[in-house]
A and B are shown apart, each in its own frame.
Chain A
Amino acid sequence: MNYKSNESTPEIEDYLKRLRKKLRFMSKKTKNNVLDEVRSHLHESALDLGGLNKNNAKVAIANYGDPKEISKSYKRMYGYGKFLSVVFIILGFVMGILTVPLSAPALKQELITFNNICLMGTLFLTTLLFFIIILSGVKFGRWTGMLVGFAAFASRGLTMLVVTNLPLPEKIEIVASGGPCFFFIIVSLMMPVSGFVAGRVFIKFKKKDDDVAWD
């Protein structure tokens, strides 16, 4: 076999580039290991066909399979990298702060529009936060889902503690006692639970060993 370690073909390098793109967000180590193995295989396959040239590279690539389908198998197995999990945890924390409900009950008449905007905004952001928590549970697994939910839970609690001890603008209140406060605690507690449950439920439906494409 006549092979030089630094040689390749533009077709193979282009294929690897497309695969790298599809494997984004996976950990760097895993991604590089996968790409090294694919390069090695494509070179081996082209050489077996007669040499590392354009036509053989094309056949080797066709035999190897669609990068999109291949990347799916790896993503199912390895999941995404830690970096993206951390991004989601930070996002959960920040969103948690934004979902602490503000209201102005003492000035209902004058601030009716302000109240409505705050209520709608809080509802929208809380729904969005639940979506992010559930998505992280599904994409990164139950423990990360729970961590994202816990970050939101913690930031909501901390914000509530800080804000209730701060002098607020005149007649604007934070829901800090009674029924609404109980509701606030329940919603906050549901966050880590929903992240965990979403990941746990998804695992049951996860496609596992059916990744092989047959000729």
Chain B
Amino acid sequence: MKEKEWGKEFKKGGIQLCVLALLSRERKYGFQIIKELKTGTDAYYTLKEGTLYPILHRLKKRGYLNSDWVVGEGSPPRNYYSITEKGNEALKAALIQWDLMIGGTKKLLEEYR
């Protein structure tokens, strides 16, 4: 497996976790999430912008997110996403799994590096 393919495998689950984490403090709109994903992860999560929205829609469909259109002056109408109670619980559960995975994997890999 090439480096890029490894990246794709790791990023698959990570992106949903990062989106939930980004929305756990305040509501954000799609373009803002993309920018923060990029800057907050040293450009590790740099995706084709249009592919973020299906992720947001899927998380919404699962009941983890809500969305509301806000029409403001001087900016395009924005669809703001906010985390729900169910989403917060999912985030907590995901973070536990994440810590276990990172801890366990790191422990093993350090022996074999």
When distances are taken between beta carbons in the complex, the residues of chain B under 8 Å from A110 are: none
Residues of A close to B30: CB separation below 8 A: 37, 40-41
A3 to B71, CA, bound (A): 12
A45 to B11, CA, bound (A): 23
Interface pair A77/B12, CB less than 8 Å apart = no
Q: List the A side residues contacting B75 at CB < 8 Å.
A: 1, 3, 44, 47
Is B76 a contact of A65 with CB atoms below 8 Å? no
Interface size class, chain A: 20 to 34
Bound Cα distance A43, B79 (Å): 13
Minimum CB–CB distance from A1 to chain B (whole Å) comes to 5
How many inter-chain residue pairs (CB < 8 Å) link A and B?
Answer: 94
A65 touches B74 (CB 8 A): no
Name the B residues within 8 Å of A3 (CB-CB): 74-76
Q: Is the interface of B mostly helix, strand, loop or mixed?
A: helix
CB distance from A155 to the nearest CB of B (A): 35
A115 at interface, CB cutoff 8 A: no
Given contacts A40-B79, A77-B54, 15 further A-B contacts (CB under 8 A): A2-B74, A5-B76, A37-B53, A38-B50, A44-B29, A63-B48, A64-B48, A64-B50, A65-B50, A70-B53, A70-B54, A77-B57, A77-B58, A77-B61, A213-B51
